[in-house]
Amino acid sequence: MRHSRQRELILDEVRSGRLDHPTALEVHDAVRERLPRISLGTVYRNLRQLVETGELKAVAADGALRVDPRLEPHAHFVCGRCGRLSDIDVDLAELAGAVRLPGGHEVAAVELLLTGRCARCAPAETTPDPHE
């Protein structure tokens, strides 16, 4: 029972909206408030299981496992400067339909990770000044 309680607390924390596509380390920091003795390894294992059971989605962005409580298909944008990962609403089903692969392969789903600079990190000169 103890193990499923840990899992519930971890899932709770990820779904709380306080964390944004958190890594195991960030989830660990957050759940330690309620489970002071939980190890990072345990958090990591539980996150993996939650991804396997489909309760969370894994986002492969910068090598680290990041989890996402939002299960419907959506794209992600990662800022190469500050590392912030944001949700982008793109019609992935439409995109999947638009991709034509040679050799008879059939596209069923698209996972999209866009990279660049976020609005806060973009160089100032590329942002038009509305006063000019």
Q: Which stretch binds Zn ion (CB under 5 A): 6-14, 40-48, 101-109, 114-122?
A: 114-122
| 81 near Zn ion (CB under 5 A) | yes
Distances from the Cα of 60 to the Cαs of 8, 43, 72, in angstroms? 23, 18, 16
Spatial distance between the Cα atoms of 51 and 55, rounded to a whole number of angstroms: 6
Query: Among 7, 24, 42, 68, which residue interacts with Zn ion (rule: CB under 5 A)?
Result: 68
Query: Among 32, 87, 92, 95, which residue interacts with Zn ion (rule: CB under 5 A)?
Result: 87
User: What does DSSP assign to residue 50?
Assistant: H
Residues touching Zn ion: how many (CB under 5 A)? Answer: 8
Q: In terms of Cα–Cα distance, which of 51, 54, 69, 63 is closest to 113? A: 63
Give the residue with the Cβ less far from Zn ion, 38 or 112.
112
Query: Do residues 106 and 95 touch, judged by C-beta distance below 8 A?
Result: no
Q: Which stretch binds Zn ion (CB under 5 A): 12-20, 41-49, 85-93, 107-115?
A: 85-93
How many CB atoms neighbour CB 16 within 10 A?
Answer: 10
Least distance from C-beta 127 to Zn ion, angstroms? 13
Query: Do residues 47 and 56 touch, judged by C-beta distance below 8 A?
Result: yes
Give the residue with the Cβ less far from Zn ion, 35 or 113.
113
| 55 near Zn ion (CB under 5 A) | no
The site for Zn ion (CB under 5 A) is made up of: 68, 70, 79, 81-82, 87, 118, 121
